[in-house]
């Protein structure tokens, strides 16, 4: 195991979030930030195994729903990029290019996003209606020459473990249904895996790709009160099909452009979970993405090692037979107290302590990381599956409550300013007019109107123009 | 599902191997070669799922043995590369570099191999003996500006799905033991997963990294009689530790360099399996990496659809409960004959045909892809687990036999030439002297002495100098 150098340092309070975040990610063995390339980090075994649990989960989810995994090359021919000229002109400066050979000739762009590599192939794959729908995804790294300050897993130059679903359909209706399916994927990942609320907004049409029908964006409400984009689902309409020539011959032999959907997100999922659930002792992992759900720490005194280990092994076997991921910490050069600390930093949901007295009484001490509770439980009454489920539910309820209490209705600009000063998200009525949207975005320095509620429409007066308004718009500082 | 355009084209005979290979990989839906970047291809869902079964297997194998997965960035700082100056000077022209920003500044090298990104981190991680051993791996793509003719999965510019194990140890003995463990990994992958013989040779010391202790290389004996490097395991000694400053303080506080091992391979594994086992009908997949092990094709006539489907579902459920990967092909726009053909090209090991008469008799027709045999089996006698195991064993035995019969002892240069003309591998006595090795390599155009037998030493006369010789050396044409 790679030693995490800083595992024994004291972690600061979450009130200084940026510092806390970096400390926890290092101390828990998630990443090593010392790799000497801006915006790129080494994923350590523990961090990668958490990420991989989540990936396994989305693989199952997508594939169960008939979306198939593919892999497209890292290098994208420049001529593929140029098919979407407006995007490429805007993106060029943020993009990496690759050179090789004696003359250092440009070979292509480094994958900036999936579209320019994928859609030229879609164009080859779709001929008739029988070729549709195409429903594929890939999980890859994308690259962006980020000039702003980078932050591991949140704003990186190497955007690792990023999934992109891309689909092409014969009809607008089918595409719309596909989009709603992707919403279910996000909701399941947020609520069932990350124990986070699925906070989704409608993006105004002018923030979507030109020609698109619309888009959803998910946000995470971070501990510093800012919101972070955390997953988009885009109804591209026929806009990209027209750029990349993705079309099919209909029943009458007439060529039609396909309707396309693209949806993607990545490591920000776990960045949000770490940030939301963690505390001054370190991470608190949601049980369903924890690589180790239960750690057993034997309390050894000289002379009783054998019986305690034997009992601990028995408990481990019992739990594993129930499908629980268990680790028995047998390190002999570490006190139980240090082991507690070690696994607390890593956020293992449940710790079982077993000493000679417990063996005698056929019991274990169950200690839960989330609420720091401890209780003695007889082995035949031990229900870790239930405990993990309770922890998950409590973590979800807590984070949902924080979001719900964090979104507050504002009737005036002054109220908006006050709310954002208090690290809240403001919610206001808005008439639907772009000018008003832009004005509302400029109420304060660094403020951003970031989309409208997906819930049922109310009725009120637009914050900006005071006209009749049916949309509710969110405002916050953003990442 | 992405339509494989060429799935209904006739596949040529394997005697024209290069053409056969490209045709089969396209027709079976492994890859799409039309992506417009030399040496890079799109992995289609079926191909990727085979690759991922193998990756899952090596993940289990490595992790069960305590080797932990990590991820290192794609971009490698040039100064990291320069730590291994001799390698970097040689590699520069084959390497890709990445540029960005207004001045197109060079940002780094694109991962050419794991060492230059990993070992500078090793240097930070190893302080005392307690930090050792470090035993990690990553599964990534590597990049090489290949100027020779490329061939999908065999010689690519994007070398996808490549694992690299890198370990650092306090002692030479521990490193040597680690190397032998990696040999077991390879043997298991070859014999248990790919149904291929594990053909391992010792590399002469001058073909190892400068300063290394030694290396093993695995080879695949391809249908065209050439051999293909297919997995190396390198005992680096302290050579890299010295270049990258990977050292620890021993019990006396004295700094010692670590002993290091690196081992890696990737998609060539399945390229070899496809090539060895396939035939003129397409792929024949080894059962343990087949994403679909059994395909059920219902034989439907009007009026009996319901009962046949119901029975087919029952068979599917029964097999799945035994852990078998089953697909029921319910496509209504395709005749059974076309379905047979479709799944034969993809190399599905077992096909079950179920018609109305079979339902009546409570039986299925079991058709095996490997030997094209068909038999009626009563449902309560159906033992697909046994069938898959038999297929695996027969495939392994057949490929092992072809290799064993392909290696033939030669006493003269003339015999060597004759053997290689007949697409065999020649085996000769060799004294251990480098001059003789080089001379033997030059017996014929394109010949290569590619290492010595790992089996027990014999005794004879060196083919080149006629002196006493205890090593047996292999000669073949190579990829």
Q: Residue B5: is its pLDDT beyond 80?
A: no
**A70 vs B45, B80, B93: nearest CB:** B45
Regarding beta strands A407-409 and A425-430, do their DSSP bridges make them parallel or antiparallel, or are they unpaired?
parallel
A332–chain B Cβ distance below 8 A for any pair: no
C-alpha span between A470 and B3 (Å, rounded): 46
- For the segment B63-71, the average pLDDT, to the nearest whole number, is 98
Query: For B129-188, what is each residue's pLDDT tens digit?
Result: 999 999 999 999 999 999 999 999 999 999 999 999 999 999 999 999 999 999 999 999
Which residues in B25-49 are b (16+ Cβ under 10 Å) and which e?
Answer: bbbbbbbbeebebebbbbbbbbbbb
B77 in contact with A, Cβ within 8 Å: yes
End-to-end distance of chain A based on CA atoms, in angstroms? 34
Per-residue pLDDT, B10: 62
- Give A281 to chain B, closest Cα distance, Å: 24
Q: Do B158 and A74 touch (CB under 8 A)?
A: yes
Q: Could you read off the pLDDT of A308-366 as tens digits, one per residue?
A: 999 999 999 999 999 999 999 999 889 999 999 999 999 999 999 999 999 999 999 99
Chain A residues lying within 8 Å of B35, measured CB to CB: 72-73, 117, 121
Query: What confidence tens digit (pLDDT) does each residue in A103-137 have?
Result: 999 999 999 999 999 999 999 999 999 999 999 99
Q: How many CB pairs under 8 A join A and B?
A: 150
CATH label, B292-390, candidates 2.130.10.10, 1.10.1370.30, 3.40.50.800, 3.90.1170.50: 3.40.50.800
**Omega prior to B133 cis, within 30 of 0:** yes
pLDDT in tens, B316-336: 999 999 999 999 999 988 999
Domain A17-277: which CATH number of 3.30.450.20, 3.40.50.720, 3.30.930.10, 3.30.429.10? 3.30.930.10
Question: Chain centroid to CA A49: how far?
Answer: 15
Architecture category of domain B406-477 in CATH: 2-Layer Sandwich (3.30)
For chain B, state the CA radius of gyration: 25
Domain ranges of chain A: 17-277, 292-391, 406-477
Cite the beta strand spans of A144-274 per DSSP E.
158-169, 199-202, 214-221, 227-237, 247-249, 255-257, 259-265
Tell me the C-alpha to C-alpha distance, in Å, between residue B20 and each of A260, B49, B344: 36, 22, 15
ipTM of the complex: 0.96
Nearest by CB to A121, which of B35, B73, B104? B35
- C-alpha distance from B358 to closest chain A C-alpha (Å): 30
Rounded to a whole number of angstroms, the distance from the CA of A363 to the nearest CA of chain B is 30
* Cross-chain residue pair A75–B158, CB shorter than 8 Å: yes
Beta bridge partners of A139: A163
Beta bridge partners of residue A233, listed in sequence order: A216, A263
**Do the strands B134-143 and B363-368 form a parallel or antiparallel pair, or are they unpaired?**
unpaired
Q: Say if the Cβ atoms of A42 and B73 lie within 8 Å.
A: yes
Find the closest chain A residue to B147 by CA distance.
Answer: A101
Query: Given this model, what pLDDT does residue B8 score?
Result: 47
Considering the segment(s) A292-391 as one domain, its CATH architecture is 3-Layer(aba) Sandwich (3.40)
Residues in A 94-153 with any Cβ partner in B closer than 8 A: 95-102, 104, 106-108, 110, 117, 120-121, 124-125, 130-131, 134, 136, 141, 143, 145
Q: B248 and B152 in contact (C-beta within 8 Å)?
A: no
Q: Which of B309, B345, B347 is nearest to B328 (CA)?
A: B309
Under the banding of pLDDT at 50, 70 and 90, the label for residue A456 is confident
B71, B145, B147: best to mutate for the A interface, most A CBs within 10 A = B71
- Counting residues of chain B whose pLDDT is more than 90, the rounded percentage is 92
pLDDT in tens, A256-301: 999 999 999 999 999 999 999 999 999 999 999 999 999 999 998 8
- Report pLDDT digits (tens) over A405-422: 999 999 999 999 999 999
CA distance B160 to B139: 9
């Amino acid at each position: 195991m790679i030693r995490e150098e800083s595992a024994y340092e004291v972690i600061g309070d979450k009130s200084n979030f940026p510092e806390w975040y970096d400390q926890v990610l290092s101390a828990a063995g998630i990443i090593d930030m010392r790799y000497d390339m801006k915006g790129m980090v080494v994923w350590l075994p523990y961090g990668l195994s958490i990420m991989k649990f989540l990936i396994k989960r989305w693989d199952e989810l997508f594939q169960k729903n008939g979306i198939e995994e593919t892999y497209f090359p890292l290098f994208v021919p420049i001529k593929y990029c140029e098919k979407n000229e407006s995007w490429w002109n805007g993106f060029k400066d943020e993009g990496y290019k690759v050179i090789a050979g004696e003359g250092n000739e440009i070979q292509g762009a480094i994958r900036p996003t999936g579209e320019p590599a994928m859609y030229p192939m879609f164009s080859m794959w779709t001929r008739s209606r029988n070729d549709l729908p195409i429903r594929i995804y890939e999980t890859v790294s994308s690259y962006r020459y980020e000039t702003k300050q980078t932050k591991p897993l949140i704003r990186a130059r190497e955007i690792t473990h990023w999934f992109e679903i891309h689909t092409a359909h014969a009809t607008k209706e089918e595409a719309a249904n596909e989009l709603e399916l992707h919403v279910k994927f996000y909701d399941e990942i947020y609520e069932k895996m990350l124990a986070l609320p699925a906070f989704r907004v409608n993006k105004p049409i002018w923030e979507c790709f030109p020609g698109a029908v619309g888009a959803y964006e998910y946000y995470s409400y971070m501990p510093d009160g800012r919101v972070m984009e955390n997953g988009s689902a885009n109804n591209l309409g026929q806009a990209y099909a027209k750029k990349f020539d993705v079309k099919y011959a209909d029943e009458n032999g007439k060529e039609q452009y396909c309707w396309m959907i693209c949806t993607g997100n990545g490591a920000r999922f776990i960045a949000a979970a770490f940030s939301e659930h963690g505390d001054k002792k370190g991470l608190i992992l949601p049980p369903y993405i924890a690589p180790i759900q239960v750690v057993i720490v034997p309390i050894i005194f000289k002379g009783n090692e054998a019986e305690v280990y034997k009992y601990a092994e028995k408990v481990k076997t019992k739990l594993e037979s129930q499908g629980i991921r268990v680790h028995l910490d047998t390190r002999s050069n570490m006190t139980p107290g240090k082991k507690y600390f070690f696994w607390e930093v890593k956020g293992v949901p449940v710790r079982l302590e077993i000493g000679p007295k417990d063996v005698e009484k056929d019991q274990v001490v169950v200690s839960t990381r989330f609420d720091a509770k401890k209780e003695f439980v007889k082995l035949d009454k031990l229900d870790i599956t239930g405990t993990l489920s309770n922890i998950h539910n409590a973590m979800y309820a807590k984070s949902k409550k924080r979001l719900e209490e964090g979104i507050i209705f504002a009737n005036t600009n002054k109220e908006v300013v006050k709310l954002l000063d208090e690290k809240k998200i403001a919610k206001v009525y808005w008439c639907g007019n772009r000018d008003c949207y832009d004005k509302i975005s400029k109420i304060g320095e660094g403020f951003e109107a970031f989309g409208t509620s997906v819930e049922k429409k109310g009725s009120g007066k637009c914050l900006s123009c005071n006209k009749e308004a049916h949309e509710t718009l969110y405002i916050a500082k953003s990442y």
